[in-house]
Amino acid sequence: MVTNAGIDVRGGDLVDFDAFDPVHRPDPYPRYRALRETAPFCPIRLGDARVTLATTYDGCAAVLQDAQWGRGYADGLNPFRPGVAPGEVPGGSFLAMDPPDHTRLRGLVSRAFTPRASLAETPFVGRTVDGLVDTAVAQGGLDVVAGLARPLSLAVMGRLLGVPAAEAPLFLGWIQGITRGTDPDYLLSPAEIVVRTAAARDLGRYLVGLVAARRAQPRDDLVSRLAAVQHDQDVLTEREVVELCALLLAAGLDTTANLITNGVLALLRHPDQLALLRRRPELIAAAVEEMLRYDPPSQFVTRVALADTTVLGHPFRRGDGVVVLSAAGQRDPAAFADPDRFDITRYAASPPARRHLGFALGLHYCLGAPLARIQAEAAIGTLVRRGGELSLVTEDIEYRPNAALRGPASLLVNVTGAAG
């Protein structure tokens, strides 16, 4: 038996699996390739549970889009968080829901958190980015995580929820505790699970007060819109509003910051693509799509078979768990030409490349995708345009401990400044 980062790999027909081992954190993609070349569905043992890795694009997309796959918490089926009730899931019970509850809640949320509402934040995003890049140019460098990506996402989420700027940093510690806990429980230490529980509790208490204040005195913010949303005489309960705000924070802060940081790193490691983006700034939207494909902030999600089913000829029983390894699927040569090449024109071609899985697919497609794209395009585009001769201070990049959510702990960059 071999043990890797909390995963027990045993003999028989189980596949040796070490891709989530911290030693591979700087570059897990060769390990993902080895898994993909082994089989489209690889059985592994995760703690005491036997689950399956989906490693190809078609396999990942099929599971994500099939209504036979879901979370499985309500029926006690989820093997990734044994003994965890729906209300205890990191980020709120919305992440634990399957239809029809998920359908109802998503329908109500989509009436308040619309693409138009995200688009309305564009001027604020632009002003915030300009200020952060101004500081970087004046200082001759920055930590992309602490000096651009994280403060931008924190400011945007604080504004979206109507949180006073002075209180927004309170979220950071809570969200980091929660997002660290998004990995399957067998990848976490007991201490990390305790921190996750405490962070979720403290954030929940804060949001209860915020929701109560907005119900009493509505403002032009998302909390007020969620509290007021109604459809066919259905409304969100106070607990539902609180949990949805917690989910938006948990999903919106670290993943957006990681998208920006991973994207800047990809450009700096591919100077030809950085130079191309400088010459053709109109490619920024396509570049962000390629960043989501090439080195996505979310490496995998988990799903549970809600009924006996078959995916691409592979049978599953009700309650079987699958790790949808979308980061491996997005490097699948059957889906993408030269998939290990970072090419910012890939999604500007006619026809464009196949749809990436960076925001998932199907019922659980990310509601915050439009807002994440706006932030990434503004942050990366402005830094490239105004940052001058950008370069890495060091190639020795330390990554955060998460397996599911991928991003450097810091990214130090030299910034010389440029006209414009």
Neighbouring C-beta atoms of residue 229, cutoff 10 Å:
18
92 has a pLDDT exceeding 60: no
Please provide the size of the chain in residues. 420
* Residues contacting residue 351 through CB under 8 Å, at least 6 positions apart: none
Query: Residue 300: what are its φ and ψ, rounded to 5°?
Result: -160, 160
Bridge-based pairing of strands 234-235 and 314-316 is unpaired
**pLDDT number for residue 230:** 65
Tens of pLDDT, residue by residue over 195-247, are 888 888 898 899 999 889 988 899 888 888 888 886 667 788 888 888 888 88
Closest Cα partner for 48 from 182, 186, 181, 190? 186
* Share above pLDDT 90 across residues of the chain, in percent, rounded to a whole number: 49
One-letter amino acid for residue 141 of the chain = G
Q: CA-CA distance, 372 to 253, in Å (whole number)?
A: 9
The arithmetic mean of pLDDT across residues 146-163, rounded, is 92
420 has a pLDDT exceeding 50: no
Token reading at 316 = 């599953």
Bridge-based pairing of strands 69-70 and 301-305 is antiparallel
Entry pTM: 0.90
* Helix 254-269 vs helix 169-180: crossing angle, to nearest 10: 80
Bridge-based pairing of strands 230-231 and 141-143 is unpaired
Q: CA-CA distance, 298 to 289, in Å (whole number)?
A: 14
Query: Cis omega before residue 100 (within 30°)?
Result: yes
Tens of pLDDT, residue by residue over 104-139, are 777 777 777 778 888 889 999 999 999 999 999 999
Query: Cis omega before residue 351 (within 30°)?
Result: yes
Q: E-strand spans in 102-216?
A: 141-143
Q: For residue 241, what is the enclosing H or E element?
A: helix 238-252
Query: Residue 351: what are its φ and ψ, rounded to 5°?
Result: -75, 160
**pLDDT number for residue 74:** 62
Q: CA-CA distance, 417 to 141, in Å (whole number)?
A: 9
Bridge-based pairing of strands 49-54 and 321-324 is parallel
Closest Cα partner for 339 from 326, 351, 350? 326
| Mean pLDDT taken over the chain | 86
41 has a pLDDT exceeding 90: yes
Q: CA-CA distance, 290 to 156, in Å (whole number)?
A: 23
Measured on CA atoms in the order 213, 215, 219, 220, is the torsion positive or negative? positive
**pLDDT number for residue 96:** 63
**Cα→Cα distances 260→18, 134, 398, Å:** 27, 17, 16
* Residues contacting residue 127 through CB under 8 Å, at least 6 positions apart: none
One-letter amino acid for residue 31 of the chain = R
Tens of pLDDT, residue by residue over 164-189, are 878 877 778 888 888 887 787 778 88
* Share above pLDDT 70 across residues of the chain, in percent, rounded to a whole number: 89
